[in-house]
Amino acid sequence: MALRARMRLRKGDRVRVLSGKDLGKEGEITRVLPERNMVIVDGVNIAKKHQRSTNATMQGGIIDKDMPVPASNVAILCPSCGPSRIGYQFDDRVKTRVCKKCGKSL
């Protein structure tokens, strides 16, 4: 069993897609799946799902579903310099995430 690097992305991060059919799209992470090393980004990698109505209240039809994207295919967006990688810095015993390009806190 291979050791896997710790995921640095979190729910609520604004990211840009680096590869695949949605190249260049931006969105917010709605869910993180660390056991699969994937993230679900709002409005990216959408699949059509045919949903049957289960009871009188739920409506059936074709719904759009956001599917997971590999975490390596997205880059966090720094407010000042754009897509970047994430580094860590310790300030008074508090670990904070920083932009690798400009060094600003994320």
Task: Identify the CATH number of the domain in which residue 92 sits.
Answer: 2.30.30.30
Res 48: pLDDT: 95
Res 2: pLDDT: 60
Q: Does residue 7 lie in a domain region?
A: no
Q: Does residue 3 lie in a domain region?
A: no
- State the average pLDDT for the chain: 91
Q: Which residue segment(s) compose the domain that 47 sits in? A: 14-53+60-99
Which residues are CB-contacts of 3 (< 8 A; sequence separation ≥ 6)?
Answer: none
Q: Does residue 71 lie in a domain region?
A: yes
Q: Does residue 9 lie in a domain region?
A: no
Contacts 24+ apart (CB under 8 A), 50-55: none
Total domains in the chain come to: 1
State the pTM of this model: 0.83
